[in-house]
A and B are shown apart, each in its own frame.
Chain A
Amino acid sequence: MKTITIQVSRFDPAVDAEPHFEEYTVQVNEGARVLHALHAVRDNHDPGLAYRYCCGSGQCGSCAVRVDGTPVLACMEEARDGMTVEPLALPILKDLMVDLEPVIAKIARICPAPDAELPAKDEIETIKPLRDCIECFCCVSACPALQVTEFAGPTVLRQEMRLTLDPRDSGDRITDAITKGLFYCTTCRRCLEVCPKEIDIPGKAIEKLREIANRRGLTLPRHQEVARLVQETGRSVERTKETFLEQVPEVIEPDGPVRGEVGFFVGCMFNGRVPQTALDAMEVMKRNGIRVIVPHDQVCCGSPLIRTGQTAFVDDLKKKNIEAFARRGITTVMTICAGCGATLKNDYETPFVVKDVTEILTEYGIEPPTKLDITATYHDPCHLLRGQGISEEPRALLRDAVREFVEMPTQCCGAGGGVRSGVPEEAKALGAKRDEAVKATGADVVVTVCPFCEFHIADCTDVPVKNLVTVLLEGYRKKDAEREGSA
């Protein structure tokens, strides 16, 4: 037995205006789950504590709650001393019990055709990964799009795709999915991260539904424009100024001895819209002895097309890009755009390894910059954090580059998945939430490593937004200035 103290959110609509935390100290067995801690509260402190559970083994989906802010199954998550337990972010009935009936009602039911037959094995195998859902609604609780739109929720779209894949179903699932908010998803992958069954809803349902919608001509007009642009120019961003590729040679030699060599995949945003940041990155590489090879025949990675379901000519792009790097014998390709990085890592099969700039810098180790006299916070780009599983490297680099580093709760800024172009009001609303979060940290600067996030957050807050490489470069410049000053 061990003793733990936990905070449990309590709310009785008959007497409380708002939920509040109560603290309980309870005895639990070794290995006890959150659910057992709640049982201990009910059995020994307050029999009135309202919460759901049934199977006790992760199979029924009754028991989901938020522990320290993250949705989990209470029966599977180990109880921790000091944890907070709150209901899912859904209308609360009482304490930890939320009203599930309205979301359950949004999940489509199969309409079997009268002559429905047993599907074939390969059909069953494609449906199965989407069928594991236990309707726990962790994903619904965590999805950012739901906070600011009428989006029906990740698992609701999961079901639309499950039905689309079933030859027995006779419903029109694409129209349904669009009504339920198919284009609201930012592809942030938060739903996958919290899903106890690890169902890849953005990849296996949402992007696939968007693909079918595309074949039926139902893609949003703004997204179609992007596709046209890529098809015509090889780039998803219009040329409005001198591009990065126009400004650099194919090989950028370092200042000192060569410690390493990488190919650089620049991406459309850095190439066309914010080339200065990419140039800053090159300075940082030079300073740290890394030779950068920049094939000029590289094109858009295809991410804006894949995320919006416009995959018709993505294979051409992939082929061009792979060849551009492979032909030059490059074994490691660096990205500084989280979106391109996630796409090259997850949607491509490359004969080279792909690494984010923060991985490269961490692996080689960098010359320490002089710390900037600022307080900085860090915004996790979804496609870096969840798309590539990178969170520690940028933080460590940043901690060494600024006077003070403060954490900010992670949440999608709203720029991804074609939402910024396709559903600007949603992107704006999510951006506004980022603004609030940034302000709450009191930081002077928001640092990130994704041009989409950088561009979008900058639009939504008056706090300066900078790329991590720019901060590093500023640190080096400060160092040089100080050296010159003292010389």
Chain B
Amino acid sequence: MVLYNASTNKMHVDEIVDAHVLVVGSGGAGVRAAIEASRYGGVVMVSKTIAGKGGCTTMAEGGYNAVLRDRDSVDVHREDTLSGGAYLNEPALVDALVHEAPERMADLVRWGAVFDVTDDREIAQRPFGGQRFPRTCYAGDRTGHEMIMTLLDRLDATDTHLYQEVSVIDLVKDENGTVAGAIALDRDGNVVFFRADATVLATGGGTQVYDISTNSAAGTGDGFAMAYRAGAELIDMEMIQFHPTGAVYPYDARGRLVTEAVRGEGGILLNARRERFMERYDPERMELSTRDVVARAIATEVLEGRGTSRGGVYLDVTHLPAETIESRLPVMLEQFLAYGVDIRREPMEVAPTAHHIMGGLRITPECRTTLPGLFACGEVAGGVHGANRLGGNALAETQVFGKRAGEFAGKNPARSGRISEGAIEEKIRVLDDFFEGSVNPADLRKDLKLTMWDQAGIFRNAADLRTALGHIKRLADKRLCAASTANLLECCTARNMCTTASLIVRCALIRPENRGAHVRRDATVTAEPGKSPFGHTYVSLTREGIEQREAMT
């Protein structure tokens, strides 16, 4: 491999790193994959952020679903997951999830995780929405943080090499079309080329494409975009979970997650007239209905003028003992206190916020994508949650599929195909273009995020979606400007956000029905979720469409 000449003032590859398995992303899924893959050969983990400090796993508060008690069963967990997902889930993936979540939980405990336990020395579990058994394991309200700290301890005992604050900007394929690694930029904008026999994509979600989002700053959907550019197929990208309860104030903190555990612990929702409005939407499950139902209920209250002046509703825990709030919801208490609200005494104000992308790369239960050499796990993969994710299932997903991706990537044979210099050169030329552009990527992001929120949000229709798609295309064509090499990444990220947004909107246009989190006000097809004639939407460089299927019973 030629290292390009620095004196020409063009971008060039500064460093080449070889590995058996390349893991992209240091969230719960990526670290779990690296731990597993390291049993089979040399592993390199590349992460946009310092490991443990980036992505959404660190932020996850509520918990991890696993069947641990005799009174519960994996069949019930399976059925809850499918019915919550409006039967759009890939059943084989759900089977893996519910069967292996308990074993992966046991791994975490063995590795030192500090989960809450009961007086009888069992892992404590709490109720979460849409589930018939309280099966959500937790570590206070910092469950994800506990997991990632434990996983990093375990990772440290392997020979995995970490490249932190190094961001992958594109996947690279060899002459056989096998994914052969990735190109990345380090903090200063130097180009690093990682070559590997197998690549695991674990870049997490991307709801940062919406104006109001719970995701970390790394949740820009890079993985969806890079995989799409490389030719992988994605499914169900229209399935965006709007979490019912995001903060509404202060403005800059809008969207910040108010964990479902608040409702799990007994929090109630009230509109501005102090009516417990969930009675009208789901009198049986009330506040603990599935997220799509609660989010639409809140959005409807606000749209119909029964919201607060800031466009939210009240979430109230003042009837709970102060000690319960302090011990079970310390992070919530602390965050609201920082903004001058004492949730022990006054209600929170909340409104829906873009939370999770259920869709993603099409994977097999072995986490193989449609591209040879490329594996995916965690939020970047699709199919596990169908049309709506149950709270607590995503953390379980990171462990179950992280382990699987690591194992099967590890077992992947050595790659033999040649990597053409042209392929690399082409990707680097895109970077050079950013020095010629004129549009500030920050401005483009703002525009994109508002477009997505306004036209591809909770309630959708074809006209809005088409407008959005047109606008996104225009934004994607703008020539972005990098102020320095260190800013190249900003440009790449903005470009990825445009791609991810367009995938969401294209799939949203393709699905003509209301299903789970996807609501088309102009829907032409109405069927019970289980009887829907439709399967996954799919989209790739070469095709897009929606699967037809026999109605399930």
Contacts and interface: CB of A to CB of B under 8 A. Distances in A.
A42 B446 CA distance: 14
Contacts of A197: 334
Interface stretch (B244-252, B275-283, B296-304, B370-378): B244-252
Contact of A128 (B52, B114, B253): B114
B117 A112 contact: no
A121 B114 contact: no
A48 B484 contact: yes
Nearest to A133: B149
B487 A47 contact: yes
Nearest to B115: A124
16 contacts: A28-B252, A29-B251, A30-B250, A32-B250, A32-B251, A42-B442, A43-B443, A47-B483, A56-B256, A58-B338, A93-B187, A109-B157, A118-B121, A121-B119, A124-B114, A127-B114
B52 A135 contact: yes
Contacts of A112: 110-112
A120 B109 CA distance: 12
Interface string B219-263: 000000000000000000000000000000111110011000000
The dominant DSSP class at the A interface is: loop
Contacts of A124: 114-117
A323 B74 CA distance: 62
A166 B116 CA distance: 14
B121 A121 contact: yes
Interface in B45-76: 49-50, 52-55, 58-59
B114 A48 contact: no
A57 B335 contact: yes
A273 interface: no
Interface string B439-483: 010110000000000000000000000000000000000000001
A479 interface: no
A128 B112 CA distance: 12
A31 B252 contact: yes
Given A43-B440, A128-B140, A59 B490 contact: no
B450 to A, nearest CB: 15
Q: Please give me the 5 A-B residue pairs with the lowest Cβ-Cβ distance, nearest first.
A: A31-B250, A110-B112, A47-B483, A43-B442, A29-B251
Interface of A: 28-33, 36, 42-43, 46-48, 50, 52-62, 76, 93-94, 97, 100-101, 104, 109-110, 112, 116, 118-121, 124, 127-128, 131-132, 134-135, 166, 168-169, 197
Nearest to B249: A31
B156 interface: yes
Nearest to A165: B114
Interface in B97-131: 109-112, 114-119, 121-123
Interface of B: 49-50, 52-55, 58-59, 109-112, 114-119, 121-123, 139-140, 142, 145-146, 149-150, 152-153, 156-157, 164, 187, 216-218, 249-253, 256-257, 330-331, 334-335, 338-339, 440, 442-443, 483-484, 486-487, 490
Contact of A55 (B146, B216, B252): B216
A48 B59 contact: no
Contacts of B338: 58, 76
Nearest to B330: A132
Contact of A169 (B55, B112, B217, B490): B112
Contacts of A121: 117-119, 121
A100 B120 CA distance: 40
Of residues A59, A76, A93, which shows the largest number of chain B Cβ atoms within 10 Å of its Cβ? Answer: A59
A58 B334 contact: yes
A168 B112 contact: yes
Nearest to A37: B252
A217 B195 CA distance: 53
Contacts of B116: 124
A135 B338 CA distance: 19
A60 B250 contact: no
A134 B216 CA distance: 15
Contacts of A61: 53
Contact of A166 (B112, B249, B443): B112
Given A93-B187, A124-B114, A135-B52, A57 B121 contact: no
A29 B49 contact: no
Contact of B146 (A93, A120, A131): A131
A18 B277 CA distance: 59
A54 B53 contact: yes
Contact of A60 (B58, B112, B256, B442): B58
Contacts of A56: 216-217, 253, 256
A169 B150 CA distance: 12
A168 B149 CA distance: 15
A104 B153 CA distance: 11
Contacts of B156: 109
Given A56-B216, A58-B338, A62-B53, 5 more contacts: A30-B250, A47-B440, A47-B487, A124-B116, A197-B334
Nearest to B60: A59
Contacts of B114: 119, 124, 127-128, 131, 166
Nearest to B54: A54
Nearest to A112: B112
Contacts of A50: 486
B60 to A, nearest CB: 9
A47 B150 CA distance: 36
Given A47-B490, A112-B112, A60 B252 contact: no
Contacts of A52: 49-50, 53
A162 to B, nearest CB: 8
Contacts of A135: 52-53
A203 to B, nearest CB: 18
Contacts of B443: 43
B486 A57 contact: no
B442 A47 contact: yes
Nearest to B157: A109
A53 B217 contact: yes
A59 B142 contact: yes
A110 B153 contact: yes
B58 A55 contact: yes
Of residues A28, A48, A54, A134, which shows the largest number of chain B Cβ atoms within 10 Å of its Cβ? Answer: A54
A161 B55 CA distance: 28
Contact of A120 (B117, B486, B487): B117
Contacts of B335: 57-58, 76
Contacts of B250: 29-33
Nearest to B156: A109
Given A57-B256, A128-B140, A48 B483 contact: yes
Contacts of A104: 50
A295 B403 CA distance: 68
B50 A55 contact: no
B252 A32 contact: yes
B29 to A, nearest CB: 17
A94 B186 CA distance: 14
Contacts of B217: 53-56
A146 B483 CA distance: 37
A176 to B, nearest CB: 15
B110 A116 contact: yes
Contacts of B145: 59, 134
Contacts of A132: 142, 330
Contact of B59 (A59, A127, A166): A59
A13 to B, nearest CB: 10
B88 to A, nearest CB: 30
Nearest to B116: A124
B140 A54 contact: no
Contacts of A29: 250-252
Contacts of A48: 483-484, 486-487
B257 A57 contact: yes
Contacts of B249: 31
Contacts of B157: 109
Contacts of B139: 131
Nearest to A116: B110
A226 to B, nearest CB: 36
Contacts of A93: 187
Nearest to B122: A118
A46 B257 CA distance: 30
